[in-house]
Structure 1
Amino acid sequence: MDRDQLLKLGGKLDEVELVEYTDPWPVKGTKAEKRAERAVAAWFTLAGLSGLAFIGVFLWWPWEYVPATSDQHWLYLLYTPLLGLTLGLSILGVGVGVVMYAKKFLPHEVAVQQRHDGPSAEIDRQTFVAHLADAGDRSTIARRSIIKRSALFGAGAFGLATAALPLGSLIHNPHKDSTNKNGLWHTGWLAEDGERVFLRRDTGDPHVIELVKPEDLDAGAMETVFPFHAPKNSSGGVDYAKMEGMLAGTERVDEHELFEALRRSDNPVMLIRLRPEDAKRVIKHQGQEDYNFGDFYAYTKICSHLGCPTSLYEQRTNRILCPCHQSQFDALQYAKPIFGPATRKLAQLPIQVDTETGYLYARSDFNEAVGPAFWERKS
């Protein structure tokens, strides 16, 4: 049997009654049909161009922070909106193109069929395939090359755009520069080329530099601090004269560096001054016995569970609390987790006091992973 015969037979066997089966274009090749065809192709083309634009923005648009005083700041501000706009237009183009094609070119069919239980017989499967093939022919997609090409272009570019998001992180090697502060193993507390990194408080104004001295905290107090990389002199040591000028606001500073120190996600550190009676009961972690300075202990604020800020400190119990999932860490036992889903201690920052100025500084970067684990972590 040919396809037309199978169509009729299949309808009878399946008890299908065609109430309406109207060809939207009974007269072929009219101007209206061509306009509809071009409209559908235009939406698919928009989807393709938008998908390619998304890939271009994702790969090459300047995304790193630029200070507001820079002429390039507006480009940085446009990065995220452009990603949303281009990907959204690509999704919209594919969706509208498909819907418009269905409305403009697919036959308007109204059919009534009785439902039956159990699997279909072989003859039903054969007639079903014939119906599908006939529907493809009646949709006229085979002879509309401009729509096929534009649909392939739009859907293909949209597919590439959606694949660029997960593939981008695989193409970029996160460990390429792992020896500097931008690597996964380090934070903004890394002292490069022998520089000294002081503990800085956040005053609310990123342009104001205020460092921390031991006498600034009362016993039982906690403060969040951030790194400040002191300027160096010609011999490689700290340029104290220039640093005092920066603190006083008379020396020029790198505004981008100051702002980034306060905003980088792995920089916040809890500086805790234990009460003298509590400091006597401290249990230190092996290999970190000298990381504290007297009663002062510094731990990362990034929870080892999912990276939330451990912003709460109970003075009476000496517990560090994470408000997201209620993990608790004992400040008297090297910030060991004692409750909640966290299973790793908070990373401890080694601190000391600068004898020249009396300010607290970090002796080195953390020697363990900060925050949630990643797959290269060894413990």
Structure 2
Amino acid sequence: MTTHDTRPGSTGGADTAGPLHGGPDDDYTPEQLAAMPREDLDRLGARYDGVQILHVDPGPEPGSPMERRAIRQVGLTFTLAGLSALAFVVVYVGAGWFFPDWQWSVSGSDFSAFFTPLLGATMGLALALVGVGLVLFSKKLLPHETAVQDKHDGSHFDRVTTGATLVGGLHNSGLARRKLITRSLGFMGGGLGLMLLMPLGGLINNPNKGNPLGRTAWAEGVRLVRNDGSPIRPGDQEPGSLETVFPAVPGGNRQSDAATMLIRLRPEQREQEAPREGQGDFGYGDYVAFSKICTHAGCPVSLYEQETSRILCPCHQSQFDVTQGAKPVFGPATRSLPQLPITVDDEGFFVARGDYPEAVGPTYWNRERI
């Protein structure tokens, strides 16, 4: 009968041919296992686990031209992955830095047309390069072996020897001495982490603060301007005419919820005028201003029949009576168009006295402002 030396520091027979007998935790004490070198623990655990090595390829020789070339390839791939991730971050948050007045729009022909494709391209390239780098690292730098292993229980012996095997795998990977790869891995990991955190920025710095569905860019003292940015004075419009105006703020003429109709009533319309309760002073002289967004489905109401005093929505034929506070008188709309309180400033130009007193747009936003 063959016996094995199980004293601390011994290999426990791991370097001797033939099967091992007895239970691992019965043959070795925790102190003996703790005293064994990692390599011996790795071999011993493999023997007890019934591992049969069929083939071993140690990989490139350390310091050889083949290894250096492979390290450069893997390091370059990981670095490019990090740069692609950082490019995603630049596109995602940097648009406002490089184009301060830029706002994304669905049908935009400027940077808006490339914003989403650039996000997809940079993120996709970063993730693809991570995969390519890992494949190159595995195939060109890691040692390869083919082995068959029986399943074992989870004893203390198994935990210790498995830990040694895992540490041995890290050691065999050569990461400790291949500094270029570790640095590129760190750079790539930082870039990817930042890239994945960027879409969560809205949770950290929520842009939708201050009741965004119920408020627009109109505020006290904000001038009413045409699409070209020119301000409007009383008398600039003919009686019975309509002018689409916007708030004189950055991007005001691109804020769809702030589009407003400035209407100059005819004398007979002034006689018939019956404003909504509490809004009798919202107009200025024979001028009134109403939201351009239909309260039925949000379409832009842009047709005005001065003979009938009606504003028409071309989408579903809702009609609103200007002399009745833009009350719906025909069609599916059930809520009046919100009215903007207006006055003139010291220079004689039209300005808003505040925002709309209620939410603009479709009826499903029907709620009073906080």
Q: Give the TM interval when normalised to the shorter protein.
A: 0.5 to 0.7
Does residue 103 of the first structure (1) align with residue 139 of the second (2)? yes
Q: In the superposition, relative to structure 1, how do residues 124 and 268 fare at CA in structure 2: closer, same or farther (>3 Å)?
A: farther
Does residue 155 of the first structure (1) align with residue 155 of the second (2)? no
2:81 corresponds to: 47
How far, CA to CA, are the matches of 2:167 and 2:69 in structure 1?
Answer: 26
What are the equivalent positions in structure 2 for 1:106-255 lying under 5 Å apart? 106-116=142-152, 120-167=154-201, 170-171=204-205, 174-175=208-209, 185-187=214-216, 190=218, 193=221, 231-233=231-233, 237=234, 239-240=236-237
- 1:259-279: CA deviation from partner (whole Å, max 9, x where unpaired): 735xx3x4699xxxxxxxxxx
Mark the runs of 5 or more structure 2 residues left unpaired by the alignment. Answer: 1-35, 261-275, 283-287, 299-313, 319-331, 342-351
SS at match of 2:338: coil
Does residue 299 of the first structure (1) align with residue 292 of the second (2)? no
How far, CA to CA, are the matches of 1:128 and 1:96 in structure 2?
Answer: 29
* Residue 80 of structure 1, aligned match among 116, 124, 128: 116
Q: In the superposition, relative to structure 1, how do residues 140 and 120 fare at CA in structure 2: closer, same or farther (>3 Å)?
A: same
How far, CA to CA, are the matches of 2:201 and 2:69 in structure 1?
Answer: 38
C-alpha RMSD of the superposition: 5.1
Amino acid at match of 1:163: L
> CA shift at 1:5, angstroms?
2.1
> CA shift at 1:51, angstroms?
2.3
SS at match of 1:143: coil
Contact 1:47 1:93 in 2 (8 A): yes
* Residue 13 of structure 1, aligned match among 48, 52, 56: 48
Amino acid at match of 1:240: Q
Contact 2:338 2:358 in 1 (8 A): no
> CA shift at 1:238, angstroms?
6.1
- 1:33-92: CA deviation from partner (whole Å, max 9, x where unpaired): 11110000001111222222332332224275589xxxx964554433333333333222
How far, CA to CA, are the matches of 1:364 and 1:94 in structure 2?
Answer: 53
Q: In percent, how many aligned pairs have the same letter? A: 33
How far, CA to CA, are the matches of 2:78 and 2:71 in structure 1?
Answer: 11
SS at match of 2:74: helix
How far, CA to CA, are the matches of 1:73 and 1:14 in structure 2?
Answer: 65
Q: In the superposition, relative to structure 1, how do residues 16 and 301 fare at CA in structure 2: closer, same or farther (>3 Å)?
A: same
Q: In the superposition, relative to structure 1, how do residues 170 and 17 fare at CA in structure 2: closer, same or farther (>3 Å)?
A: same
TM-score, structure 2 normalization: 0.54
- 1:306-355: CA deviation from partner (whole Å, max 9, x where unpaired): xxxxx99699xxxxxxxxxxxxxx965x69xxxxxxxxxxxx62489xxx
Contact 1:63 1:79 in 2 (8 A): no
How far, CA to CA, are the matches of 1:243 and 1:143 in structure 2?
Answer: 83
Q: In the superposition, relative to structure 1, how do residues 76 and 351 fare at CA in structure 2: closer, same or farther (>3 Å)?
A: closer
- 1:175-218: CA deviation from partner (whole Å, max 9, x where unpaired): 5xx6xxx9664236x376365699xxxxxxx99xxxxxxxxxxx
> CA shift at 1:232, angstroms?
1.3
Aligned residues: 261
How far, CA to CA, are the matches of 1:16 and 1:140 in structure 2?
Answer: 23
How far, CA to CA, are the matches of 1:371 and 1:94 in structure 2?
Answer: 46
SS at match of 1:111: strand
SS at match of 2:55: strand
Q: In the superposition, relative to structure 1, how do residues 113 and 268 fare at CA in structure 2: closer, same or farther (>3 Å)?
A: farther
Contact 2:252 2:258 in 1 (8 A): no
Amino acid at match of 1:140: G
Contact 1:349 1:364 in 2 (8 A): no
2:357 corresponds to: 367
> CA shift at 1:132, angstroms?
0.3
> CA shift at 1:23, angstroms?
1.1
> CA shift at 1:156, angstroms?
0.7
2:38 corresponds to: 3
> CA shift at 1:154, angstroms?
1.1
1:349 corresponds to: 338
> CA shift at 1:24, angstroms?
1.6
Report the more deviating stretch, 73-82 or 155-164.
73-82
Contact 1:48 1:157 in 2 (8 A): yes
Mark the runs of 5 or more structure 1 residues left unpaired by the alignment. Answer: 199-205, 208-228, 248-253, 270-284, 303-310, 316-329, 336-347, 353-361
How far, CA to CA, are the matches of 1:299 and 1:65 in structure 2?
Answer: 28
